[in-house]
Amino acid sequence: MNPIRRTVAGMVVVGVAAWAATGMVSGQGGGRGQFPGGTNEDGSLRPTRPVTSLFSQDAYTEYEILEPGSESFRIRYLPETTRTGATEIVNATRGGSEGSGIEVYDPRTGQPIKFTYEESGADSHSIHAPLPIPVPEGGIGRVLIFKTYKDPRTYMMNGEDIVWVRSLSGYRLGVLLPKGFAFLSSNVAAQLSTTASGQLRLAFANPSGQSNPVTIHARRTSAAFTPAPYTDMFFDDVKTLYDLGDPAAGSFSVEQTYSDYRKGAAASLDSLAYLALKDLKVVDLDTAKVLTPLEQGGRTVVKLDVPIVNDRQSAHLRITGTVADGSYKLDKGDLVLTRTMHGLRNTVLLPAGWEVAAVSQSGTIGRTSEGRAFVALINLNAENSYTVSIRARRP
239-393 matches 5-20+56-220 in CATH topology: yes
347-390: per-residue pLDDT in tens? 999 999 999 999 999 999 999 999 999 999 988 887 889 999 99
Query: Is the CB of residue 208 less than 8 Å from the CB of residue 168?
Result: no
Cα separation, 360 vs 62, whole angstroms:
32
Cα separation, 34 vs 116, whole angstroms:
38
In CATH terms, the fold of domain 239-393 is: Immunoglobulin-like (2.60.40)
110-158: per-residue pLDDT in tens? 999 999 998 777 777 899 999 999 999 999 999 999 999 999 999 999 9
Cα separation, 322 vs 255, whole angstroms:
9
The pLDDT score that the predictor gives to residue 13 is 56
Long-range contacts of 18-23 (CB under 8 A, 24+ apart): 19/49, 20/53, 20/56, 20/169, 20/170, 20/209, 21/53, 22/53, 22/55, 22/56, 22/57, 22/58, 22/170, 23/55, 23/58, 23/80, 23/82, 23/140, 23/239, 23/257
What's the mean pLDDT in 271-289? 97
Secondary structure (3-state) at 193: strand
Cα R_g (the chain), whole angstroms: 22
| Residues shown for the chain | 395
pLDDT at 25 over 50: no
The pLDDT score that the predictor gives to residue 169 is 67
The C-alpha angle 357, 172, 46, rounded to 5 degrees, equals 60
In CATH terms, the fold of domain 5-20+56-220 is: Immunoglobulin-like (2.60.40)
Cα separation, 263 vs 146, whole angstroms:
21
Average pLDDT, the chain: 89
Burial of residue 126 (number of CB atoms within 10 Å: 0-12, 13-18, 19+): buried
Domain map (residue ranges) of the chain? 5-20+56-220, 239-393
What is the pTM assigned to this prediction?
A: 0.88
Cα separation, 77 vs 71, whole angstroms:
19
Query: Is the CB of residue 314 less than 8 Å from the CB of residue 208?
Result: no
